[in-house]
Homo-oligomer: A and B are copies of this chain.
Amino acid sequence: MATIGDVAREAGVARSTVSAVLNGRKLVLPDTRRRVDEAIAKLNYSVNAGARALATSRTMTIGVVVRFHQAEFSPALATYLVAMSDAASERGYSVMLLTDVDGAGAVRRAIAGRRVDGLVLLSVVDEDPRLEPITEARFPAVLIGMPLERHGIDAVDLDFGAGARLLVDHLADAGHRAATFVRWPDELYRAGSTYAIRFADAAREQAAARGLDLVEVACPVGPDQVRRALGDELRRPDAPQAVLVHNDAAAAMLPFALRDVGFEVPADRSVVSLHSADLAHLYALPFTSVESEPEGVVRRAVELLLDRIADPAADPVSRLVPPRLVHRDSVAFRRPT
């Protein structure tokens, strides 16, 4: 493999001159630049990223720390990772995958080995143990997720609170006065899942404000159990005419549960949901809904991280990505009773 020295020799200039044209610095005579470019092409030269990293102490790679969490909906993870890599490479960065059951250890090692310029943490929860090594080293990082206590670390996430309000308003605007709120299992809230908590809190508050009665149902785990639980709930004689869903498994199974009990949407039930965009696509979910925005969230995260790398001392920033309501005619208008 050719080195910068080979190119310099071929072009009859100093290595620093080659470096100058490589880095697009001015102050190189057009003619010299041309000779260097020719030498580069002739030798098929390409700069050694590692050597450059050592000289500049910038690796031009960001680490993405994925939390290993069987319980959650993993299919969406690939979308986040690919989007991350795409967004990063647009800005000249590469992405290194950091997986380890011991997330804090992975973070610590990544920082210590100086293999990355910054970190993106996926699926951040409240009291996330991965935050400590970051604050300790004052290392550039951004959280995807919005824990209550961010310890001065930048964070970005979909605005789940606003999403909940959008959905509740949509039901209330259509004249509904009560809704079944199908939500995640209790464990998820206890585990500090920030999006689940923010959605539920906002949903309750907005429902109260709009005079919508919320009947909460915590879903079990596992497709069959979910389907059965939904069926039982739908069959209840005093069940509300509307369903508000924040639970990917439930959103996926609801069409089947509705069919099980012979209900049509929106004739028998109005349904709104907030769920993963991947899930919606995979199951072709037919509900008016707010969907996660992996590309938007990830793009913001990468922007924030590069800003942070550029200016480590700037004030910490938290960014909520505004949710969008996608209409799919799953809500019927009810006359106020």
Contact = CB atoms under 8 A, between A and B. Distances in A.
Interface stretch (A14-22, A95-103, A303-311): A95-103
A221 B114 CA distance: 45
A66 B112 CA distance: 28
Task: Name the residue among A47, A78, A95 with the largest chain B CB count within 10 angstroms.
Answer: A78
Given A50-B50, A224-B284, A89 B100 contact: yes
A109 B94 CA distance: 11
Nearest to A66: B82
A223 B283 contact: yes
A170 B99 CA distance: 39
B85 A99 contact: yes
A312 to B, nearest CB: 14
A282 interface: yes
Nearest to A226: B284
Contacts of A51: 54
Nearest to A95: B97
Interface in A250-293: 256, 278, 282-284
B74 A278 contact: yes
A226 to B, nearest CB: 10
A51 B224 CA distance: 53
A77 B97 CA distance: 14
Nearest to A68: B82
Interface in A69-119: 74-79, 81-82, 84-86, 89, 94-100, 109, 112-115
A169 to B, nearest CB: 29
A135 interface: no
A66 B76 CA distance: 15
Interface string A51-66: 1011000010100101
CB-CB nearest 6 A-B residue pairs:
A75-B75, A46-B112, A77-B78, A78-B78, A85-B99, A49-B113
